[in-house]
Amino acid sequence: MSLNLTQKHQNIIDTAVKALHERTFFSHYPENPTPEIYGETADKDGREKYKNYLNNNFNELLQENPVKWVGQEESPYEQQPLGIKYPYFEVDTLVSRAEEAYHQWRKVKPSYRAAILVESLERLRNRFFDIAYATMHTTGQAYMMSFQASGPHAADRALEAIASGYEEQTRFPEATEWEKPMGKYNLKLSKTWKAVPKGVALVIGCSTFPTWNTVPGMYASLVTGNPVIIKPHPKAVLPIAIVVAEVQKVLAENGLNPNICQLAVDAEDHLITKELAEHPSIKLIDYTGGTEFGNYVESLKGKTVFTEKTGVNSIIIDSVDDLDKVVQNLAFSVSLYSGQMCTAPQNFFIPEGGIKVGGETVPYQEVVQKLADAVSGLVNNPKAAPHILGAIQNPATLERVKEASSVKGKPVLTTCDFTNPMFANARTCTPVIYEVDATEKESYSRELFGPVMLIIKTKDTNQSVELAKEMAMNYGAISCGAYTTDPVVKEHIMDEMSLAGTPVSFNLTGGIYVNQNASFSDFHVTGGNPAGNASFTNPEFVIKRFTWVGFREPVVG
């Protein structure tokens, strides 16, 4: 490991640690994909790299002697297979290679590990555009979201995990001389401590955000000395495969075993996630995805597990200053990536007596109509809609939205037909809206993943808050939005939703949305309700990946 690499990146690490403490805006990787920042040909080069991957073996990984080559990805925009094949390895091979690499990686000092990992992010900066096209054609995200979420935003989240892991491992001295006065003499002990990694880590990725949701756990385990096996969703491999390849190259260049970080793909006829998760040598598991499988992962004995599962996210509308601005903001939130974000709002609680707008009361039905009109206006805007809606990643999501009529409610918007002018074969769907009575809890107490919006008529704001809290506590919530001009109501919402472990965004209008979480400032998921047991990135997210072990002996002389 080059000392120059440590010196090269120490300033980045120190700045990131400072940002962790201050929680103000900080981004090391620019989110704007302009030629001035990334170079005149960066976009064109990235698109060509992506095209060159199609119908070929992915040969960038430094993992030797695969059993075979496999691949199952297809583009939601073209509904055609990508034809990319990845090296497949048996589970025992992956684990044994990780165990071998573990004994080298755990002995690398935390500061060296952090520097190596930052170097991998600096290399990835040059891959943001091919990662963007890879994300676009595996997840269905629109181009701008694909670039930002899988490129700079993911890299910032990874850097955040590196900084947090570095800080927690360097918090205490490596050695000290301990002296206790005993009257006529002093007891003296020489004491040293080691941060000992827990062992082989597994990261289970999701289909909608294959890098953003994978790299925090991946880098948190790596920086704390644990070798990592990355198990992506079989339909979204390429974006994270590029990341793993860059990490492996940096490891090899610095004389380290590239199997410290491995990619594990499923065979076409054999899913390997459970086999990996249940392997006795797997000590750490990070998981993003559905609640049922997440509960299974959490039930595994002898593992330290970090989960992000599904949630039922609420919007509470009590009173506003400008209703038009509010409904435009909310229409964007439900339409962004066709509702396929873990932070997308689903349940909209509105009092039957209407809401206060300025000094007047706007009737309930008028609020509902304004929300519907805002959604319709956005999805019928030919310049904006394709770039906001993107495409539907999973055909099952589209079918579920079309079957949303099973919801016991009154349809407000039910047609989800939409044609993307740039991709005629794109799998698309605009938001559907149903009115549901507050008594029909069964209809709104589960996540309806995708572009589904439920408007729930309540007796008053107190009932709105009570139901939003109940949904969060019983079924989980990752986000909540609230609109009120009354400071007493605001305090009530803050208090109740905090008890449900749910962050609240108040009175958002304009260019900031309830869906968004900022690295180094927002804790993504709290771990305080059934939507997940971990948070990007609080100290617990890293300190549970290693243990402090002390050594002491008498001082001689």
- Judgement on whether residues 238 and 321 belong to the same structural domain of the protein: no
Q: Is residue 260 part of a domain?
A: yes
Strands (E), 141-199: 175-181, 186-197
End-to-end CA distance of the chain: 36
| Residue 384 structural domain | 314-506
Other CB atoms within 10 Å distance of the CB of residue 418: 18
pLDDT tens-digit readout, 518-529 = 999 999 999 999
- Judgement on whether residues 135 and 270 belong to the same structural domain of the protein: yes
Summarize the confidence of residues 525-551 as an average pLDDT.
97
Q: Is residue 519 part of a domain?
A: no
Summarize the confidence of residues 282-290 as an average pLDDT.
97
- Judgement on whether residues 320 and 299 belong to the same structural domain of the protein: no
- Judgement on whether residues 196 and 234 belong to the same structural domain of the protein: yes
pLDDT tens-digit readout, 214-237 = 999 999 999 999 999 999 999 999
- Judgement on whether residues 323 and 202 belong to the same structural domain of the protein: no
- Judgement on whether residues 255 and 378 belong to the same structural domain of the protein: no
Residue 2: band (very low, low, confident or very high) from pLDDT cuts 50, 70, 90? low
Summarize the confidence of residues 540-545 as an average pLDDT.
98
- Judgement on whether residues 430 and 546 belong to the same structural domain of the protein: no
**106 pLDDT exceeds 70?**
yes
Q: Is residue 513 part of a domain?
A: no
pLDDT tens-digit readout, 331-374 = 999 999 999 999 999 999 999 999 999 989 999 999 999 999 99
The whole-model pTM stands at 0.96
Sheet of 432-437: strand order equals 410-413, 432-437, 452-458, 347-351, 314-317, 480-483, 505-506
Q: Which of 3-7, 97-101, 124-128, 257-261 comes out lowest in average pLDDT?
A: 3-7
Residue 400: band (very low, low, confident or very high) from pLDDT cuts 50, 70, 90? confident
pLDDT of the residue at 1: 47
Q: Is residue 97 part of a domain?
A: yes
Other CB atoms within 10 Å distance of the CB of residue 95: 23
Q: Is residue 521 part of a domain?
A: no
pLDDT tens-digit readout, 309-322 = 999 999 999 999 99
**3 pLDDT exceeds 70?**
no
Q: Is residue 514 part of a domain?
A: no
Residue 408: band (very low, low, confident or very high) from pLDDT cuts 50, 70, 90? confident
Question: How many domains in the chain?
Answer: 2
The CATH number of residue 120's host domain is 3.40.605.10
Q: Is residue 180 part of a domain?
A: yes
- Judgement on whether residues 121 and 239 belong to the same structural domain of the protein: yes
Peptide bond connecting 537 to the previous residue in cis, omega within 30 degrees of 0: yes
Beta carbons of 61 and 248 less than 8 angstroms apart: yes
Summarize the confidence of residues 272-280 as an average pLDDT.
98
CA distances in angstroms from 152 to 147, 388, 438, listed in the order given: 7, 19, 41
Beta carbons of 468 and 314 less than 8 angstroms apart: yes
- Judgement on whether residues 339 and 425 belong to the same structural domain of the protein: yes
The CATH number of residue 488's host domain is 3.40.309.10
pLDDT tens-digit readout, 18-73 = 999 999 999 999 999 999 999 999 999 999 999 999 999 999 999 999 999 999 99
- Judgement on whether residues 391 and 417 belong to the same structural domain of the protein: yes
Q: What is the mean pLDDT of the chain?
A: 96
- Judgement on whether residues 334 and 416 belong to the same structural domain of the protein: yes
Residue type, 331: A
Q: Is residue 524 part of a domain?
A: no
- Judgement on whether residues 543 and 460 belong to the same structural domain of the protein: no
Q: φ and ψ at 96, to 5 degrees? A: -65, -40
pLDDT of the residue at 237: 98
